[in-house]
Structure 1
Amino acid sequence: MKLPVSTEWVLHCTTTLAQLDPGTTASAAQLALYFDLPAAYLAKQLQALTRAGLLAATTGPRGGFRLARPTSEITLLEIVEAVAGASPPYECREIRQQGRGALPPEDCQRTCVLAEKMADAHEAWRSSLAGVTLADVLATLPASVPSRTRRRLAATT
């Protein structure tokens, strides 16, 4: 499975926003400069996170984005699905019933074992990401990182 490049962007941006002091925001332009990303495209991804209820956006000269919920209530799965969608990456088209090698219908009463295994793998991936919150990610960062992030992000204004 290949996720869009914007998946990495939003994972890092939400982790960065999670390091800000309460009530503090960062604009799309600040985040784009901080990570050297295209601002207009990043803004669209941040809006997707806002529509998903993960970020809150404010307008005006001091406007920007902040987390809409506590870090312990935002999972990596929610972030990924906000930009990449929730559709399974594998779709069984039942080719086992086509062509010269077609199995008879009576041998295809059960779901294709390959479709089952792919669905199991997708569910394991989803469960893994659903079990990790932004709070979990922050807990793994060295103690100096949040203050460094705040200083450097503030310098991009």
Structure 2
Amino acid sequence: MKLPGSTEWMLHCATTLAQLDAGDTASAAQLARYYDLPAPYLAKQLKMLVRAEVLTATTGPRGGFRLARGAAEITLLQIVEAVDGTSAPYECREIRQQGLGALPPEDCRRTCVLAEKMADAHRAWRDSLSGVTLADIVAGLPATAPARTRRRITGAA
């Protein structure tokens, strides 16, 4: 499975916001500069996380984005699904029943074994991501990373 680049952007931006002090925000422009990304497209992606209630957005001169709830309550799966949706990446089109190799209908009563295995893999992937929170990710960063991030995003120590 290959996810779009915007998924990486949102995972990193959410992790960045998780490192800010409570109440602090970062604008789309600040995050775009931080990661050297196109601000207009990044803003659209960030709004997807707002719609999914992963982030909140405020307007005004000190406005921007921040986590909608604690980092320990936001999973990687919630972020990925906000950007990419919830559809399984594999869709069995039952080609085992087509062409010269077509199996008879009585041999196709059960779900295709390939579809079963792909569904199992998708479930395992989802379970893995649902078990990891932004707090877990921040805890795995170098000890100096949160202060460095705060300095570079908001100018705070």
- TM-score, structure 2 as length reference: 0.97
Q: Aligned residue for 2:70?
A: 70
Alignment map for 1:7-86 (pairs within 5 Å): 7-86=7-86
Shift of 1:101: 1.1
Partner letter of residue 34 of structure 1? Y
Question: Within the alignment, does 1:90 sit opposite 2:99 as a pair?
Answer: no
Runs of 4+, deviation exceeding 4 Å: none
Report the secondary structure of 2:132's partner residue: coil
The within-5 A match list for 1:132-147 is 132-147=132-147
Give the drift of 1:50: 0.1
Q: Which amino acid aligns with 1:8?
A: E
RMSD of aligned C-alpha atoms? 0.7
Distance 1:17 1:23 in 2: 10
Counterpart of 1:104 in structure 2: which amino acid?
P
For each residue in 1:15-41, what CA deviation from the matched residue of structure 2 results, as whole angstroms up to 9, or x when unmatched? 000000000000000000010000000
Instruction: Give the paired residue count.
Output: 155
Unaligned runs of 5+ in 1: none
Shift of 1:61: 0.7
Q: Distance in 1 between matches of 2:148 and 2:15?
A: 13
In the TM superposition, residue 100 of structure 1 has moved relative to its aligned partner by 1.4
User: Post-superposition shift, 1:54?
Assistant: 0.2
User: How far off its partner does 1:154 sit?
Assistant: 2.2
